[in-house]
Amino acid sequence: LAYGQAGSMLKYFQDKIAENPSYQYALQLDCEENISNIFWADAKMVIDYAHFGDVVTFDTAFGTNKEYRPFGVFVGLNQFRETVIFGAALMFDETFASFQWLFKAFLAAHNGKQPRAIFTDQDTAMGNAVGEHLCNNKADDSHSPKHKNEADEEEEEEEPHILSDFSACMYNIEDTTAFEEAFDIMRNKVDEKKMSWLDSIYKKLPRISMKTPMLLQASKLYTPTIFEAFQAEYERSMAACTRALDANNTYSVAIVRADGDLSSELERIVVGDSLEKTSSCSCGQFKRTGILCGHALKVLDLMNIKLLPNHYILKRWTREARYGTIQDNKGNSIVENPKMDAMLRY
């Protein structure tokens, strides 16, 4: 680091810790006691990793700063399939020793929690460090806060009630008829510009194509983005052809293509267990994405299982994904925004 940069950086980190004690950072010194590698993660990153750190992607973008130092970012997906950051690093080089230190610092900041899988590039040093310190799984309806944030700041200041009404309508009403009525009342309160914004959101709300017990259940549990993905698999299961391979609920399942020529996709082997309410498919989609494939859903239906078993509902994809208290590596409860928390308390 150039003269004065180390002091400025340390002051920045100390200021951040003063604002929020759960802020995490780590420094590595070289043999001359100069700072070589830096890692940091704020409170939101720590909270997000606790909820969504099962699958992590890490990569470095060389030469993105004037010193040409590698900048690395740990990222993942939240319950809306939006990118979230778990930590960042400014590194001196991309050697095994640097990555080894970095991954140790990353785990220390996140209470030692290991990801289930991590995706990296083809860098050998990085891959070796991942295998040693992280995990062995290295691999080359309606409630949408994302749409809520589309209202700009000017609209919030002019009519703050629109966002509070919108939030109440989205989060407090489960009955479809009551929701439609509340949405119409809210729509009639606003001017033409905001009415257009509300209408654009309404068109984006996911629709249940078939009111089956499993789809109704999933629409209440999953976030809209994940529900749409699940519903697509459910619809695929309706086009599946099955062939029993033995008397123990083992099936060959092939899904007819949607292009109208009645040809089928590759056959998959699905093993069901009606007592344990499990359906394991050779395609491995649930292990990769946390959402059951159409093949497995077809076999659940053949076993007369009409609701999605709890062990197939991952909390990270549900509306309650961020519920619960997270502790930092000092054992303290993490507050994402202490100032806002204090304001709400009083």
Are residues 298 and 231 both part of a single domain? yes
- Model confidence over 56-100: pLDDT tens digits? 999 886 555 566 788 999 999 999 999 999 999 999 888 999 999
Tell me the residue range of the domain where 240 lies: 213-317
pLDDT per residue of the chain (346 residues) written in tens, 0 to 9 = 666 778 888 999 999 999 999 999 999 988 888 888 999 999 999 999 999 999 999 988 655 556 678 899 999 999 999 999 999 999 988 899 999 999 999 999 999 999 988 888 767 888 888 888 776 555 543 333 333 344 444 444 444 455 566 666 655 665 666 766 777 777 777 666 666 766 666 655 556 667 899 999 999 999 999 999 999 999 999 999 999 998 889 999 999 887 666 567 889 999 999 999 999 999 999 999 999 999 999 999 999 999 999 999 999 999 999 988 888 888 888 888 777 666 655 5
How far is residue 78 CA from its own chain's centroid? 2
Sign of the dihedral defined by the CA atoms of residues 201, 206, 209, 210, in that order: negative
Are residues 178 and 134 both part of a single domain? no
Of the candidates 167, 183, 204, which is a domain's last residue? 204
**Residue 17 domain-assigned (yes or no):** yes
Are residues 119 and 149 both part of a single domain? no
Are residues 161 and 129 both part of a single domain? no
**Residue 326 domain-assigned (yes or no):** no
Cβ(102)–Cβ(91) below 8 Å: yes
Residue whose C-alpha is closest to residue 305's, from 340, 279, 327:
279
pLDDT of residue 162: 59
Are residues 236 and 302 both part of a single domain? yes
Are residues 231 and 111 both part of a single domain? no
Residue linked to tokens 């239906």: 301
Cβ(27)–Cβ(37) below 8 Å: yes
pLDDT of residue 142: 33
pLDDT of residue 200: 66
pLDDT of residue 111: 93
Of the candidates 186, 204, 222, which is a domain's last residue? 204
Position 306, amino acid? K
Mean of the per-residue pLDDT values of the chain: 82
Q: Which residues of 199-220 are buried (b: 16+ CB within 10 A; e: fewer)?
A: eebeeeebeeeeeeebbeebbe
Mind giving me the DSSP string for 245-296?
Answer: -SSSSEEEEEEBPTTSS--B---EEEEEETTTTEEEETT-HHHHHSS--HHH
Q: What is the largest distance, in Å, between two alpha-carbon atoms of the chain?
A: 75
Are residues 54 and 167 both part of a single domain? no
pLDDT of residue 265: 83
pLDDT of residue 184: 73
Are residues 176 and 65 both part of a single domain? no
Cβ(84)–Cβ(5) below 8 Å: no
- 0.85 surpassed by pTM: no
Q: Would you state the torsion angle of the CA atoms of residues 180, 182, 187, 190, taken in this order, to the nearest 10 degrees?
A: -170
Count of the separate structural domains present in the chain: 3
**Residue 93 domain-assigned (yes or no):** yes
